[in-house]
Amino acid sequence: MLSLNFHRHPLFRARAAALLGTLAAVFFIRPYTPPVFAGDTKELAAPPPEGPGDPAPARTSGVRSGVLPTKEGLILRVNADLGSVNIVPLEAGAAPVVRYTVHIETDARGGAAQKLLNSYSLRTTSTASGVELVGSVPSQTHSGNAQFWVQFEIAVPQSYSVDISTEVGDITTGNIGGTARLQTQGGNITAGKIGIFADRETSRTHPMAKLETAGGQIQVLDVAGDLSAFTAGGHINAGNIAGDASLHSGGGHIRAGKIGGRAELETAGGNITVAQAGNLVSVHTGGGQIDFGEVRGSVRAQTGGGGIRVVYVSGPMEVESNAGSICLTRVADAVQASTSGGTITAWIDPDAVSGSGTVRLGGASQLASGTGDIVVYLPRNLAATIDATVLNGSERQIEADSALHLNIQASPNGNGPVHAFANLNGGGAPLRLRTAGGKILLKYLDSELALRNSLLREQMDRLNKRLQETGFAPVKFSPTIGPPSDASTQSPQDSLKIDTDWLDSWLNSLELTFRGAIGEDPDEFFKRISYHPTPAYPSLAQRAGIHGFVKLQVRLTKEGHLEVQKVLEGEPVLVDAAIDAVKRWRAKPCWRNGKNVDVISTVMFDFQLR
């Protein structure tokens, strides 16, 4: 049996797997509002009716409540096999007690309902270290097919620490004075400020907050120390983290306002956004976008397919994208940037050294793109050695300001490697530029000051918009990195109206200038295809047992025709069949800025023997 699959995006399978693991999660995060302690029974949502027109099953409820005396600075431990937990601080000046109310409901009928409510186990203990609550539902043999719903409402002294674990349910807290360990097997975690009364010794020796959920969302305001957060598939949103941050998601987005210490952020496929960081930042995403604001340290960033945008990094930087574009609006130190197919745009602008008339990069640097263009803006007083190479092209594919005095060496036949060299201001650390088939453009910083300032402002506003969408306050960026952002003077409603497509439009205009076409994500590109017959599996390949992927770089013309520009992967006998099919495809032309433009993307086929 033969099968042929057309792959619109190489990460489709990974994303689908991550999605299946998070179907039960809630896919939005509300702006944080401190929960209100409820003294009365809280009405819980009823399960859906048994069938069309059937009424929802009646519930019987019960309440367990109490007050336990305690002291400031101790810890609350809650361990439940079922139930959501809501923690709030006592009002200022209140006597130190732990006040709890546990709401229990069941859909059992008649006398069995009350019997089951009475069999719910709640054990409370007051010790020298604090207070412990342990709750467990009746065993299966006692409850039969009845369902239970449990809600914990607990008020604690303002300087208390909390250690909460529930197998099923959400965890919500107000501001926590001490440390917080919050763990749920299947719910969301929403927390206020953590560690606001913790001493410095505690913040140095223990994580201030450890938050874990098997698949829900995580949101926390400020953490006065280290934060560790893990979710198997939800989003992670954090405000200001004073210490180190270790944030891991199985597929959701990660957003952070400020991180004072080292940052290790990883997601299987979501976007990663960090507005400000004060130390080493290491991030990885399987296919999402990476956005950095101001990093007073070094950066290591890798994405399997999205773009990378960085406002400013004071230290060394290593960024890598499998296919997306890279935009670096201020490079102050050594940089290593690579992408297999996107455009790289970089403003080289090291900090000036007192008493020196020149500026220098901190070490050898390289910008490399497989098929995309490289655009570099340089200060006139940069001391560096330029080494630019187009592996397969012509002399016209390297352009530079005439004042750079670039020495260009091209192949005699006009088609082959092209090299360009220059020693700027006596030479310095090498700046290597490499592209397999794109173009390289070198210009001076002062030739595009208005463009750069607009781009910096747009990036800052976009980062603050991301924070405001999650309910966090905007951050203020240092004036040394560029023009001030307008977000701090705007209302959240105004900020949401910012045109965040400006950067994409600008990058598209660059691509049109250098390549005569714009690049497009394979998923978006496929939406333009109106007729796409699949290739026939070659009989010779079938008999020989040849199978596998074929990946082509294609160009959609202004007239709606498709052309195969190059073969990126595949067995020759399968490649021919794929090319024949693509030549018969038709698509809707791309319309930009009042005219039709060419579009470049990739398509992949999977030839499988069954």
Structure-token match 């700046």, residue found: 431
pLDDT confidence of residue 482: 59
Our measurement of the distance from residue 163's CA atom to the centroid of its chain's CA atoms, rounded to an integer in Å, reads 28
Residue 19's identity, in one-letter code, is L
pTM more than 0.85: no
**Residue 358: phi, psi to the nearest 5?**
-115, 160
Distances (CA, A) of 384 to 23, 347, 416, 426, 432: 52, 14, 26, 8, 10
Give the contacts of 197 (CB within 8 A, at least 6 positions apart): 158, 159, 177, 178
pLDDT confidence of residue 599: 87
pLDDT < 70 stretches in the chain: 1-57, 140-144, 199-206, 354-355, 479-516, 593-594, 610
Per-residue DSSP letter, 359: B
* Residue 543 β-bridge partners: none
Residue 558 is inside which H or E element, if any?
A: none
Give the contacts of 162 (CB within 8 A, at least 6 positions apart): 75, 76, 77, 78, 87, 156, 173, 176, 178, 179, 180, 181, 182
- CA–CA separation, 445 vs 385, rounded Å? 17
Residue 178's identity, in one-letter code, is G
Burial class (CB in 10 A: 0-12, 13-18, 19+), 489: exposed
Buried b (16+ CB within 10 A) or exposed e, 545-578: ebbebbbbbbbbbeebebebeeebebbeebbbbb
Distances (CA, A) of 454 to 274, 385, 457, 485: 20, 29, 5, 10
Per-residue DSSP letter, 55: P
pLDDT confidence of residue 140: 57
Residues comprising the chain, all counted: 610
pLDDT confidence of residue 593: 66
Q: Taking the CA atoms of 559, 564, 568 and 569 in sequence, report the sign of the dihedral they define.
A: positive
* Residue 247 β-bridge partners: 229, 265
- CA–CA separation, 142 vs 127, rounded Å? 32
Burial class (CB in 10 A: 0-12, 13-18, 19+), 359: buried
